[in-house]
Amino acid sequence: MRLSLSDVAFAMVGNLGRIAEVQLGGRDQQKDGNYLYGAFGNDFETRDRRRVMVVALTARQWNALVTATGIENACLDVEHATGCDLNSASGRFQARDLIAGILRPWFASRDLVAVRQAFSGTSVSWGPYQTFRQLVTEDPRCSTANPMFVEAEHPGIGSYLMPASPLRFSRASQVPVRALRYLAKIPTKYLQECSA
């Protein structure tokens, strides 16, 4: 069995209706906030006003982040000032606001392309934080280029991307995606109000 974690996330986004909202109604959802309990994780704005999410769950991820961003001395200062051990997940969680404050200018001084280059080939756990609109319009993993997705026609409302199961079994074929038949029974007036 093969399972892509990004496909799991994209399948959930599709099944929650977020892709359909963008493709049919042009709406995007507002950011709810990013919190990672028990370790360090935060999102940062880049110079070109994009956002990236950075997570350091393991010592390897943490060390890679510190090295790639050049914040070694600042982290030592935080440890001395607070007594937090930044080599532990709990220490990074306790000092998360200070760490975020140290990292914020590093991201703010770079475009997304420069961040991508700085983290390429490292063990930094990161990714661009995309709105649902950016996901649908910019990320090829959320398109028919990804075999998990098909463009499905839905009677009465139009077509939009629908995900199949993200699970891939070597000895079983993929179950085909089907349009939601029950939508045909919903009054058109209601569907128009939902997509407005």
How far apart CA 51 and CA 166 sit, in angstroms, is 26
Has residue 135 been placed in a domain?
Answer: no
Same domain, 21 and 89: no
Could you read off the pLDDT of 120-129 as tens digits, one per residue? 999 999 998 8
Has residue 93 been placed in a domain?
Answer: yes
Same domain, 16 and 48: no
DSSP per residue over 37-59, as a string? TTSEEEEEE-TTS-EEEEEE-SH
CATH number for position 45: 3.30.1540.10
Number of domains in the chain: 2
Has residue 7 been placed in a domain?
Answer: yes
Same domain, 77 and 50: yes
Q: Is the dihedral of CA 136, 137, 143, 144 positive or negative?
A: positive
Place 196 in a pLDDT band, splitting at 50, 70 and 90: very low
Same domain, 49 and 118: yes
Has residue 170 been placed in a domain?
Answer: yes
Same domain, 20 and 48: no
Please say if the pLDDT value at position 101 is more than 80: yes
Domain containing 49: what range?
40-130
Phi-psi label, residue 128: left if phi above 0, alpha if psi -120 to 50, beta otherwise:
beta
Give me the mean pLDDT over the 56-82 stretch: 97
Same domain, 23 and 93: no
Same domain, 21 and 44: no
Give me the mean pLDDT over the 55-73 stretch: 96
Mean pLDDT is lowest, of 30-44, 63-77, 128-142, for: 30-44
The answer for residues whose C-beta is within 8 angstroms of residue 189's C-beta and 6 or more apart is none
Same domain, 48 and 17: no
Place 157 in a pLDDT band, splitting at 50, 70 and 90: confident
Has residue 87 been placed in a domain?
Answer: yes
Average pLDDT of the chain is 85
Could you read off the pLDDT of 25-61 as tens digits, one per residue? 877 776 555 557 788 999 999 999 999 999 999 999 9
Q: Are 103 and 46 within 8 A, CB to CB? A: no
How far apart CA 148 and CA 61 sit, in angstroms, is 29
Q: Are 136 and 160 within 8 A, CB to CB? A: no
Model-level pTM?
0.63
How far apart CA 73 and CA 102 sit, in angstroms, is 11
Same domain, 121 and 186: no
Same domain, 24 and 49: no
SS3 82: helix
User: What's residue 179's pLDDT?
Assistant: 67
